[in-house]
Amino acid sequence: MAEPFTTLTSLPMPLIRDNVDTDQIIPSREMKSTGKTGLADGLFAGWRYTAIGGRDPDSGFVLNDPHYADSQIILGGANFGCGSSREHAVWALAEYGFRAVIAPSFAPIFAGNCVRNGILPAVIDADAITGIAKVDSPITIDLRAQTIRLDDDQSWSFPIDEEAKAMLLEGLDAIDLSLKMADHIATWQAADRAKRPWIYLGAKQ
């Protein structure tokens, strides 16, 4: 269950690199416990600190720029979140305080993980993202209207599928939603078991 997402106004932090992978968002070595927390410190660790495993901030990396200290939105490059399926990447972003990533395209598993943890993955084109970064002012994301507004003159709309939108707006838990259909699932499985008994590995019925 995540915090509902309706509108968000924040200065966006530019991290406009193509193929930012989940190893960079949270390196495997920073996943130190089997839980979902304690990850914010490892967010972008390979770029954020001067040495691997160290904690001295690299002043050249945008996450360490005080100008963006309160930023809740990342402006990203193409194929954002590619690589490993680790949901820790999204848990780390959320724990650090990011609520949205705007990019020209996302890796599919990462985008799904975002929605399930209350982070909006918004797709707009690369030129618009570069333009927003240049202006360097707060933007407002309105999920209900599916718009990103820079000022009165400039706004962009972004696509999102109905269910992802509903889950983000209402902070819905997908498992609860599906368990409401448990009877329907059981009926489907009984019919399927007659057709494909080899799929059901438990006790034969």
Instruction: Using CB under 8 A, list all residues that contact another protein.
Output: 17-19, 21, 23-24, 27-36, 46, 52-53, 78-79, 82-88, 90, 105-109, 112-113, 116-117, 161-163, 166, 174-175, 177-179, 181-182, 184-185, 188-189, 192, 195-203
Tell me whether strands 73-76 and 12-15 are parallel, antiparallel or unpaired.
parallel
Min dist. Cβ of residue 10 to another protein (A): 25
Task: Compute the distance between CA of residue 38 and CA of residue 88 in angstroms, rounded to an integer.
Answer: 10
Strand runs labelled E in 39-198 = 73-76, 100-103, 120-123, 139-142, 147-149, 155-157
Closest to another protein by CB, 72 vs 88, is: 88
Q: Which of 96, 79, 102, 107 has the alpha carbon at shortest distance from 149?
A: 102
- Of 47 and 139, nearer to another protein (C-beta) is 47
In the complex, minimum distance from the CB of residue 97 to another protein, in angstroms, rounded to a whole number? 20
Are the C-beta atoms of 79 and 19 separated by less than 8 Å?
A: yes
Q: Least distance in Å: CB of 161 to another protein?
A: 5
Q: Which residue has the tokens 């202006």?
A: 135
Ramachandran quadrant class, 104 (left: phi over 0; alpha: psi -120 to 50; beta: rest)? alpha
Whose Cβ is closer to another protein: residue 72's or residue 117's?
A: 117
Give the residue with the Cβ less far from another protein, 28 or 154: 28
Closest distance to another protein from the beta carbon of 122 (Å): 15
